[in-house]
């Protein structure tokens, strides 16, 4: 039997319509790069949402599945469209339209990691890009779609929490919240990926736990929230970005001493998020 290309933790019973997904926490670099790339492991991990899958690992205890990537983002980026191929990296790829992420080397097969450092020398054959998509990308998304379909069929609603982390430096340009820099950013693609009631509820839950919460700046949501968020069709998608400096040494990619406390705090948040269900129909005033 082949190695799994993702980790799926299922609850004993699906008691929640929520699905938690961590597409950038994969760290099996040996499987992803059997031939070592030009960068060190520490450099490769700079693009990883390190430990996010562990932070949300208690989600199944609250009745919701947790799907997490096994392959690292430096190998294949699950939060990009499958046709976001970079002509500067992939032989035979053509640019159909101006895409700033591809231009920056951040296509579905990334050319660079943080600070623009090239992952490999030269170009990759198109066949290698297609192999990674077939082996890693499509199975993850097929399972994610299946989990959301199961939630919608059982509960009449599916809520996707797309879980990520963000470098502290990325928050330098973030708008302050009551004079404080945010450490959680919720993204709903400016209302396109989920209804207002969901992001309002999530904001209140994180704020009640002591987090400083901003919305849609500097991160409004990526391919996953765009592709799956269909509020009118019963699928709500919300991106969650946690400040990495809360729980890890970003340069060393190591957990801070208070990691356990942060994980417990987020577990409480995840429990509340998992309890959110279909919004009760509003009653018109007489």
For residue 191, tell me if it sits in a domain. Answer: yes
**Mean pLDDT for the stretch of residues 28-55:** 92
Q: What angle do CA 99, 104, 109 make, to 5 degrees?
A: 85
The alpha carbon of 207 is separated from its chain's Cα centroid by a whole number of angstroms, namely: 20
Residue 130 lies in a domain: no
Q: Mean pLDDT check: name the lowest of 121-130, 167-176, 215-224.
A: 167-176
pLDDT, tens only, 150-180? 999 999 999 999 999 999 988 887 888 888 9
Local confidence band at 281 (pLDDT 50, 70, 90 cut-offs): very low
Residue 61 covered by a domain = yes
Q: pTM to 2 decimals?
A: 0.94
More confident residue, 69 or 277: 69
Residue 137 forms part of a structural domain: no
What gap in Å lies between CA 64 and CA 273, rounded to an integer? 10
Count the alpha carbons within 13 Å of 87 in the hemisphere toward its beta carbon: 10
Q: Is residue 106 part of a domain?
A: no
CATH number of 156's domain: 3.40.630.40
What tokens does 277 get? 């269900």
> Is residue 131 one of the residues assigned to a domain?
no
Residue 114 inside a domain? The answer is no
Please indicate, yes or no, if residue 250 is contained in any of the structural domains. Answer: yes
Distance CA 107, CA 170 (A): 19
Q: What is the pLDDT of residues 20-33, one digit of tens each?
A: 999 999 999 999 99
Strands 66-69 and 6-9 come out as antiparallel
Q: Which domain holds residue 156?
A: 6-73+143-275
pLDDT above 70 (res 2): no
Whether residue 90 has pLDDT greater than 90: yes
Provide the pLDDT confidence category of residue 98 given band limits of 50, 70 and 90: low
Q: Is 2 exposed, middle or buried (0-12, 13-18, 19+ CB in 10 A)?
A: exposed
Q: How many domains are contained in the chain?
A: 1
Is the CA virtual torsion 244, 275, 231, 151 positive or negative? positive
Q: pLDDT band at residue 34, thresholds of 50, 70 and 90?
A: confident
Q: 107, 86 in Cβ contact below 8 A?
A: yes
């Amino acid at each position: 039997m082949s190695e799994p290309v993702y980790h799926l933790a299922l609850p004993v019973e699906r008691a929640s319509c929520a699905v938690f997904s961590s597409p950038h926490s994969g760290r099996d670099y040996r499987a992803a790069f059997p031939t070592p790339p030009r960068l060190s492991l520490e450099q490769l991990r700079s693009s990883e949402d390190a430990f996010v899958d562990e932070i949300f690992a208690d989600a199944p205890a609250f009745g919701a599945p947790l799907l997490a990537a096994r392959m690292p983002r430096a190998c294949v980026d699950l939060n990009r469209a499958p046709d976001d191929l970079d002509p500067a990296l992939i032989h035979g790829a053509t640019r159909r339209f101006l895409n700033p992420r591809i231009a920056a080397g951040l296509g579905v097969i990334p050319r660079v990691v943080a600070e623009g450092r090239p992952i490999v020398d030269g170009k990759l054959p198109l066949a290698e890009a297609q192999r990674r998509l077939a082996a890693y990308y499509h199975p993850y998304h097929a399972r994610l779609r299946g989990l959301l379909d199961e939630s919608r069929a059982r509960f009449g609603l599916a809520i996707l929490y797309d879980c990520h982390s963000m470098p502290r430096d990325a928050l330098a340009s973030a708008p302050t919240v009551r004079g404080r820099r945010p450490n959680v950013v919720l993204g709903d693609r400016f209302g396109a990926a989920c209804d207002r009631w969901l992001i309002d509820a999530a904001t209140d839950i994180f704020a009640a736990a002591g987090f400083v919460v901003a919305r849609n700046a500097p991160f409004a949501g990526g391919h996953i929230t765009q592709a799956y968020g269909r509020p009118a069709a019963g699928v709500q998608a919300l991106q969650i970005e946690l400040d990495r400096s809360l729980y890890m040494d970003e340069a060393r990619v190591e957990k801070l001493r208070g990691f356990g406390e942060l994980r417990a705090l987020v577990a409480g948040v995840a429990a509340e998020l998992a309890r959110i269900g279909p919004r009760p129909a509003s009653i018109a005033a007489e």
